[in-house]
Amino acid sequence: GAVVSQHPSWVICKSGTSVKIECRSLDFQATTMFWYRQFPKQSLMLMATSNEGSKATYEQGVEKDKFLINHASLTLSTLTVTSAHPEDSSFYICSAESGRLAGDPEQFFGPGTRLTVL
Amino acid sequence: AQSVTQPDIHITVSEGASLELRCNYSYGATPYLFWYVQSPGQGLQLLLKYFSGDTLVQGIKGFEAEFKRSQSSFNLRKPSVHWSDAAEYFCAVGSYSGTYKYIFGTGTRLKVLA
């Protein structure tokens, strides 16, 4: 199956700093990637849809200036948490879509990034 | 609005026993349905998916799920659970609005007793 990686797998930062998380599709090209946030023992909440070469589409209630998304190539999307605060601590998961043109769309998920803001 | 409900937050079964995890969805059109498993510290792994055709879908690791349109359900089953099946299970519906967004259920945590 298709492989999606995330880097870093975990990060600890100080309040007020910015953190960048990378999501890469390793063996396929993805025009669409997604960013999710998962709180402890809860479900995945879609934050935004990242489209290669265009602006991301954010879900209602997600601050676009807080969570900057860049999808500069067909294999890389980045999420930057700007001016991070403790309430931004969470597990961030990305996914990359494949197979839509073939009529069999599926998202492949990265292993996630644990962000802790002190 | 589209939604997915997993009524059981926790389920405990003995190893070797059968398993059924419930999933109900709300979606206006024919849904794309998925079951994922998440082990601690790992990403989501697709168990199986339903787009169309045979309503009984076979997946990996011995799992199967049955789509029942009349009940808006897509329950996951396994005839004999192994200790390694202990994990969090998520049901999701693919909602198309230009692209296929996934709406996830709240998950069911499975505990397996030896």
Query: Per-residue b/e over A33-63, b at no fewer than 16 CB within 10 Å?
Result: bbbbbbeeeebbbbbbbbbbeeebbbeeebe
- Interchain contact, A34 vs B101, CB within 8 Å: yes
Residue B50 — very low, low, confident or very high, per pLDDT cuts 50/70/90? Answer: very high
pLDDT value for B83? 95
B16 vs A23: CA distance, rounded Å = 38
> Is the pLDDT at A67 greater than 90, yes or no?
yes
B8 vs A108: CA distance, rounded Å = 25
Contact yes or no for B7/B21 (Cβ under 8 A) = no
- Interchain contact, B46 vs A42, CB within 8 Å: no
Question: Min CA distance, B78 vs chain A (Å)?
Answer: 22
**SS3 state at B6:** coil
Q: Which residues of B touch A (CB under 8 A)?
A: 32, 36, 41-46, 49, 51, 90, 94, 99-107, 109
**SS3 state at A46:** strand
Contact yes or no for A22/A70 (Cβ under 8 A) = no
Q: With contacts defined as CB-CB under 8 Å, which chain B residues touch A4?
A: 43
Q: If you ran DSSP here, which 8-state letter would residue B30 be given?
A: P
Residue in A32, A42, A105 closest to B94 by CB = A105
A68 vs A65: CA distance, rounded Å = 6
Residue-wise pLDDT tens digits, B20-30: 999 999 987 77
Lowest mean pLDDT across A95-99, A109-113, B5-9: A95-99
The nearest alpha carbon in chain B to A103 belongs to B51
Lowest mean pLDDT across A52-56, B43-47, B104-108: A52-56
Contact yes or no for A69/A56 (Cβ under 8 A) = yes
Q: Across chain B, what does the average pLDDT equal?
A: 92
Q: With contacts defined as CB-CB under 8 Å, which chain B residues touch A93?
A: 43-44
Residue-wise pLDDT tens digits, A73-103: 889 999 999 999 999 999 999 999 887 777 7
pLDDT value for B110? 97
Determine phi and psi for B44, rounding to 5 degrees: -80, 135
Query: A–B: how many Cβ contacts below 8 A?
Result: 49
Count CB neighbours of B39 within 10 A. 13
pLDDT value for B29? 76
Q: What percent of chain B has pLDDT over 70?
A: 99
Pick B98 or B40 by higher pLDDT. B40
Q: Does A93 touch chain B (CB under 8 A)?
A: yes
Long-range (24+ apart) CB contacts under 8 A made by B51-59 are B51/A104, B59/B35
Question: Min CA distance, B43 vs chain A (Å)?
Answer: 4
Which residue has tokens 């292993």?
Answer: A111
Q: Does A34 touch chain B (CB under 8 A)?
A: yes
Which amino acid, one-letter code, is at A4?
V
Which whole number is the average pLDDT over A17-33?
93
pLDDT value for A116? 96
> Is the pLDDT at B41 greater than 80, yes or no?
no
pLDDT value for B100? 76
Q: Across chain A, what does the average pLDDT equal?
A: 91
Q: What are the C-alpha distances in Å from A109 to residues A14, A35, A69, A97?
A: 27, 10, 17, 9
Q: What are the C-alpha distances in Å from B114 to residues A57, A73, B7, B12, B14?
A: 46, 47, 25, 11, 6
- Interchain contact, B106 vs A93, CB within 8 Å: no
- Structure tokens of A56? 């991301």
